[in-house]
């Protein structure tokens, strides 16, 4: 299961494009609300969550996805979210994915030392300060079971990287072809 964490102020494209691509690949996705069952994104788009963050029970192979935007502060302020992130980081059979400002949250939690990552341009000092190596020339970076994305404009590349990690390169290529994405 992929749990995409929606906190008030989340960047809509960074959550919904990956959710759509993963579902096209028949990967189960749960839009997970932080602080309510209807969460409004950074640009005023309300999204109804499938479940509350407190209901998440991670199992082998699951993935947490952290969209960026102003909602990262709400993610960081949620004890339930921080607990899930720590659990995912400690278990070798779980995935962590973050895009835009959200990789800096993983860095501040000291989860990226020695790893390569990308984040929103201008925030790479947060990665460096916590031992990560910024790869700002990339739209997405996969380092082991950590996948990071640069910004809203990278949402398709990020989503396809998630599909490839969970369903394989052939499925990712089929989804890419099906949506006529040539990025």
Q: Phi first, then psi: what are they for 137, rounded to 5°?
A: -80, -10
Active-site residue, from 38, 59, 100, 138: 100
Question: First vs last Cα of the chain: how many Å apart?
Answer: 26
> Is 59 annotated as catalytic?
no
The two tokens of residue 175 are 């989804």
**C-alpha distances in angstroms, 89 versus 6, 12, 106, 140, 183?**
19, 25, 9, 19, 30
3-state secondary structure of 117: strand
Q: Taking phi first (over 0 means left), then psi (-120 to 50 degrees means alpha), and beta for anything else, what does residue 103 get?
A: alpha
Task: Measure the CA–CA gap between 104 and 165, rounded to whole angstroms.
Answer: 21
The two tokens of residue 37 are 């069952």
Q: Taking phi first (over 0 means left), then psi (-120 to 50 degrees means alpha), and beta for anything else, what does residue 136 get?
A: alpha
Catalytic residues: 100
């Amino acid at each position: 299961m992929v749990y995409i964490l929606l906190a008030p102020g989340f960047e809509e494209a960074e959550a919904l494009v990956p959710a759509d691509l993963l579902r096209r690949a028949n990967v189960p996705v749960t839009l997970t609300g932080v602080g309510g069952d209807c969460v409004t994104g950074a640009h005023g788009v309300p999204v109804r969550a499938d479940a509350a963050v407190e209901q998440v029970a991670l199992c082998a192979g699951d993935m947490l996805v952290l969209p960026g935007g102003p909602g990262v502060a709400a993610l960081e302020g949620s004890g339930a979210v921080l607990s899930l992130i720590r659990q995912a980081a400690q278990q070798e059979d779980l995935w962590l994915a973050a895009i835009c400002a959200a990789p800096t949250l993983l860095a501040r939690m000291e989860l990226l030392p020695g790893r390569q990552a990308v984040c929103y341009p201008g925030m790479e000092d947060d990665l460096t300060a916590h031992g990560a190596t910024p790869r700002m020339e990339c739209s997405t970076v996969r380092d082991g079971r950590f996948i990071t994305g640069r910004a809203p404009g990278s949402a398709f590349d990020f989503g396809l990287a998630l599909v490839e990690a969970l369903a394989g390169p052939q499925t990712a290529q089929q989804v890419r072809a099906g949506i006529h994405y040539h990025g």
